[in-house]
């Protein structure tokens, strides 16, 4: 799809430039962003090209704002209230960039999952889901998963999700912002495009995108296998991501249902007898329960991989 034109008009040039820089860093969004320090610049610009979305300061009167022709107008407000025209939406100017962008998406994002108003079209190669799992603990599984994700992200759009009971908030991941709980909430909604909302939630480790893990263990234990399945399918269908990495432990419900979704499963092994016995028990259980399809997907990795 062609890029949508977004214009930010604010007399505080530093503010407009900072917001434009934040939005343009979201490479998955199909936006061309321009800034104007005065309404007269907007009026001149609209004579040359279409303006799809306009973010304009409330210091301009409603009468002046009417001169600007845009598909949707967002009025950047301060503490006070501003009178709005029918096509205008008020947005608090001084909120964090991710919150402002999320509001923009909620107001203008397509409600049809197949119609991505803001997302760039990405020709996906064969989509892949990689599961990271081992019955052996404390062998560097998450560190391995993140290194793998960063390596793959050099060539593809990759998203990492930590589905462990204790994902280690404050360790590998910041304890701030939205988490996997919020992503699950959006996935449960019948309307809205999960791929768009992910752009306002994901963090970054180099080129690898990730979502901060759920902070309360009981919350992650309450999520059913079917809910995880819906989430995974929506991410693969509605987002730009070609590869999804699921870092899991046995604390989540119906883990075999999730492992079935994976194209390949990377399993860390251990050289000590206790670790080997856990691996053997897991493999025997797969055979006993009739999950040979899962067993065939397993790729064993040494504990220093």
What integer is the mean pLDDT of 88-94?
89
Per-residue pLDDT tens for 48-84?
Answer: 998 988 999 999 999 999 999 898 899 999 876 778 8
The mean pLDDT value for 156-163 works out to 94
Q: What is the pLDDT of residue 8?
A: 93
Residue 297 pLDDT > 90, yes or no? yes
Q: What's the pLDDT tens digit per position in 176-235?
A: 778 999 999 888 887 667 887 888 888 889 999 999 999 888 999 999 999 999 999 999
Predicted TM-score of the model (pTM): 0.70
What is the model's pLDDT at position 224? 93
* Residue 105: pLDDT over 60: yes
In the chain, the percentage of residues whose pLDDT exceeds 90 is 41
Which has the higher per-residue pLDDT, 172 or 130?
Answer: 130
Q: Is 90 exceeded by the pLDDT of residue 272?
A: no
Residue 175's pLDDT band (boundaries 50, 70, 90)? Answer: low
pLDDT given for residue 26 in this prediction: 73
Per the prediction, the chain carries an average pLDDT of: 85
Per-residue pLDDT at 118 = 60
Band of residue 261 on the pLDDT scale cut at 50, 70, 90: very high
Most confidently predicted of 88-97, 146-155, 179-188: 146-155
Cα–Cα dist 132/146, whole Å: 10
- pLDDT at residue 134 is higher than 70: yes
Q: 247 and 266 in contact (C-beta within 8 Å)?
A: no
Instruction: Give the range among 120-134, 198-212, 220-234, 278-292 with minimum mean pLDDT.
Output: 120-134
């Amino acid at each position: 799809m062609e890029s949508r034109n977004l214009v930010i008009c604010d007399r505080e040039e530093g503010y407009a430039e900072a917001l434009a820089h934040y939005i343009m860093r979201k490479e998955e969004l199909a936006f061309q962003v321009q800034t104007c320090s005065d309404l007269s610049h907007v009026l001149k610009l609209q004579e040359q090209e279409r303006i799809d979305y306009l973010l304009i300061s409330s210091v301009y009167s409603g009468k002046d704002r009417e001169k600007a022709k845009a598909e949707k107008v967002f009025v950047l407000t301060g503490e006070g209230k501003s009178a709005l025209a029918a096509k205008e939406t008020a947005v608090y100017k001084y909120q964090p960039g991710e919150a402002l962008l999320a509001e923009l998406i909620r107001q203008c994002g397509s409600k049809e999952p197949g119609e991505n108003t803001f997302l760039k079209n990405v020709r996906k190669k064969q989509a892949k889901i990689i599961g990271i799992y081992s019955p052996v603990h404390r062998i560097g599984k998450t560190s391995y998963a993140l290194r793998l994700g960063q390596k793959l992200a050099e060539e593809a759009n990759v998203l990492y999700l930590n589905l462990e009971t204790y994902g280690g908030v404050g360790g590998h991941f910041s304890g701030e912002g939205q988490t996997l709980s919020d992503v699950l909430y959006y996935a449960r909604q019948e309307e809205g495009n999960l791929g768009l909302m992910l752009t306002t939630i994901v963090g970054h480790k180099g080129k690898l995108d990730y979502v901060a893990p759920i902070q309360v263990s009981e919350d992650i234990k309450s999520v059913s296998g079917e809910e995880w399945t819906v989430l995974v399918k929506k991410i693969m269908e509605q987002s730009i991501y070609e590869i999804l990495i699921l870092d899991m432990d046995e604390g989540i419900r119906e883990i075999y249902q999730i492992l079935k979704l994976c194209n390949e499963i990377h399993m860390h092994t251990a050289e000590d007898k206790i670790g080997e016995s856990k691996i053997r028990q897991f493999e025997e259980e797969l055979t006993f329960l009739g999950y040979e399809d899962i067993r065939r997907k397993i790729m064993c990795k040494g504990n220093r991989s």
